[in-house]
Structure 1
Amino acid sequence: MMPARHYSPQRQQRNPLGHLDRARLPSPAEFYGDELDSLKGAGTWRDALCPFHGDKRPSLRVNVHTGAYRCMACGEGGSDLIAFLRRRDGLSFRDACRRLGCWVEGVAWK
């Protein structure tokens, strides 16, 4: 039988790099309204010009409740605002979260 592991208090502290706080994410409806010039329609799923390819007619569908998106022409899609920013702007996860204002900086370990 293996002995129980004992963790030092340092091991239980927060990550010094920071963490995501989903409560700080902007509303998907406001975000897509600001980021996509041509958001059209009503209801949960709305249409816009796709920023991932040259689009003349709206083919990008965005969910204004969850932030999910899918282009019906090129197939690009994701599950939330973070995925959208990462793909569109080529950002890392942490940088996309910082731009959205939902990244909480960590505390350095002593």
Structure 2
Amino acid sequence: QPVYINNNLYLNGAVPFEQEKDKIVAALFNPEIRITEEEDGVYLTCCLPENYEKILGEIQTTKTLKRVRVANADFENPNGSEVILDIDYLGEKRAEKSGVGPIADLQQGKNRIKVWS
């Protein structure tokens, strides 16, 4: 099965896929990722580089995801309807083009997000 890799962010020495067209590489940028447990929940804190908002991902659907060659199947819901991946990890609706990764609303600079209650 071919792998399709694009629109990724590589920080702190992470090595990008050499054939990836659209990516941001900030090899020396430390995102200072922290997960902390507080009385009201668990928080993710991270820093993102200045150019973070220049790379945007698109909503993926059955139409944009390539057919799985080994299984000879399309990506679809159990009832056969189209898959639309337009909700992020936090349950927020994604814009047509939004930040890369599981949390759509991250911004350059420091971010602090409640990930569990």
Whichever structure has more strand as a proportion of its residues is 2
> Highest relative contact order (Cα 8 Å, sep 6+), 1 or 2?
1
Task: Give me the TM-score of the superposition, normalised by structure 2.
Answer: 0.20
More helix by share: 1
* Structure with the greater alpha carbon radius of gyration: 1
